[in-house]
Amino acid sequence: MKGSKARRRVKQAAGYNPDPNDDKILREKMDELFRKYPGQYVVVCGGEIFVGRNAAALDRKARRKHPGITPHGCPIPRPQDLVCVL
């Protein structure tokens, strides 16, 4: 096995099974999420968006609602956090 096919098989064997649309949804909604939910966490799983203050609870909720799909998640920065990036 070579390249990405081999990596994909290893990840799937290890239980990594993302929904291919979740990453796209997260990218498309990121500006809206920055405005509405600064300082919180976002998890996307099975095409559904979960937002809250506890990342572990969001991950559990997403996995319960969409078993077999690996959630994508990240913190949503506050405006003052972005100043450090510049």
What is the percent of the chain where pLDDT is above 70?
79
40 in Cβ contact with 77 (< 8 Å): no
pLDDT tens, 46-65?
999 999 999 999 999 999 99
Cα 68 from Cα 70, distance rounded (Å): 7
Cα 30 from Cα 40, distance rounded (Å): 12
pLDDT at 11 over 60: no
